[in-house]
Structure 1
Amino acid sequence: MIKAIIFDFGDVFINLDKPATLREMRKHRIEDLTEDILELNREYEKGLISSEKFIRTYQEEFKQLEQEIFVNSWNAILIDFPQYRYQFLKKLSEEKDYKLILLSNTNEIHIDWVKENVPFYEDFKACFDAFYLSHEINFRKPDVEIYEFVLNKHELQPEECLFIDDTAENTKAAAALGIHTWNIEPTREDVIDLFTAKKELF
C-alpha cells in the first residue's frame, strides 16, 4: 500500500527547457562545458559551494561572462509553473491520504528565481509534509544516499513509496531500492493524471 508520494519539481510541477542554458551561453561564444565545469555544477547542486563562488568560477573560466548574463542564462531553463498543477497538489494535501514529499535537484539561484516569479510558491511548499532541495540537504539524485535519507527520515519502507521524476536515471536508482516509480514523460504526461497513470498502485 502506498503511504508516501515523492515528487520531483522540474518537469513535474514547473516546466523546464533543459537545453536553454547552454543555448543562451552559446550566444556568448561558449560552445561546450568541460568536465570540471560539469562537476562544479554537481557540487553547486549539492550545496557544497556558495552561489558567489559558483558564479566567480564560471567567470574565471569564461572571461566574457558578465554576472547578470550568466545568471540569466542559468535561469533560462525555468519556464513557468501552471497553476492547475498546484491546485491538484493542494487538493491532494487537503485529503491527507498520503504523506507528500518533494525531492528535487535544485540549486540556490534557481530556487531564488522561483520564489520571485511563482506567486503561489510558499503555498505550494506548504502542501508538502517534507520539502527537500538538493542544495539544502547536500545530496542529489540519482545518488542512493538521497533516497535512503528520505526513507530513514520518514521511517518508510521502499514498497510504501511512489517516486515521480522525469529523469530515467533517477527513477532507475529509486527502483533499485524497491521504490515504486513513475518516470513521467513531460511532453505527453502530466502529474495531474497520477491516479489514472498509476492506478494499479492505488
Structure 2
Amino acid sequence: MIKTIIFDFGDVFVNLDKPAIMREMNKYEIEKLSENLLDINQQYEKGLISSEKFVKSYQSEHSHLQKEHFKNSWNAILVDFPEYRYQFLKKLSEEKNYLLILLSNTNEIHIDWIKKNVSFFEDFKACFDAFYLSHEINFRKPDAEIYEFVLEKHDLKPQECLFIDDTRENTDAAEDLGIYTWNIEPTREDVIDLFTAKKELF
C-alpha cells in the first residue's frame, strides 16, 4: 500500500525542452560541451560550486560568451508550468492521504527562473511535506545516496513509496532500492492521471 508519493519536478510538473540549451548555445558557436563542462554541470547540480563559478567555467572555455547570453541559453530548457498540475497537487495535499515529497535535480539558476516566472510557485512548494532540490542537499539522481537520504530522513519503507520521474535511469535506481516507480512519458502521459495510470498501487 502506497503511503508516500515522491515527485520529480521537470517534465512532471514543469514542461521542459531538453535540447533547447544546446540549440541556444549553437548560436554562440558552441557545438558541443567538453568533458570538463559536463562534469561542472553535475557539480553545479549538486550545489558543490556557486552560480558565479559555474558561469565562469563556461566563460573560461568560451571567452566570447556573455553572462546573460549563457543564462538565457541555460534557462531555455524551462518552458512553462501548467497551473492545472498545481491544482491537482493542491487537491492531493488537502486530502492528506499521502506524504508528498518533491525530489528534483534542480540547480540554482533554474529554480531562480521558476521563482520569478511561476506566480504560484510558493503555494506549489507549500503543498509538499518535504521539498528537496539537488543543489540544496548535495545529492543528485540517479545516485543511490539521494534515495537513501529521503528514505532515512522520513523513516520510509521503500515498498510503501511511489516515485514519479521522466528519466529511466532515475526510476531504475529507485527500483533497485525496492521503491515503486512510474517512469512517466511526458509526450503522452500527465501526472494528473496518476491514479488511473498506476491504479494497481492504490
TM-score greater than 0.5 by the shorter chain: yes
Alpha-carbon shift at residue 64 of structure 1 (Å): 1.3
Q: Distance in 2 between matches of 1:77 and 1:132?
A: 20
Pairwise CA RMSD of aligned residues?
A: 0.3
In structure 2, the partner of 1:184 is: 184
* Structure 2 Cα separation of the partners of residues 106 and 119 of structure 1: 18
Q: Which residue matches 1:109?
A: 109
1:4 and 2:9 aligned = no
Deviations 1:7-64 (A, max 9, x none): 0000000000000000000011000001110000000000000000000111111111
Other-structure match for 1:154? 154
Identity %: 78
Provide the C-alpha distance between the structure 2 equivalents of 1:68 and 1:36, rounded to a whole number of angstroms.
Answer: 21
The letter for the 2-side match of 1:106 is: T
Question: Matched residue of 1:10: which SS?
Answer: coil
TM-score (norm 2): 1.00
**What residue ranges of structure 2 are gaps of 5+ in the alignment?**
none
AA partner of residue 199 (structure 1): K
Structure 1 stretches lacking a partner, 5+ long: none
Match of 2:171 in 1: 171
Instruction: Report the equivalent of 1:122.
Output: 122
Give the alignment's TM-score, normalised by structure 1.
1.00
Number of residue pairs the alignment of both structures matches = 202
d(CA) in 1 for partners of 2:162, 2:64: 45
Q: Distance in 1 between matches of 2:62 and 2:8?
A: 31
2:109 match: secondary structure: helix
Alpha-carbon separation, structure 1, partners of 2:70 and 2:82: 26
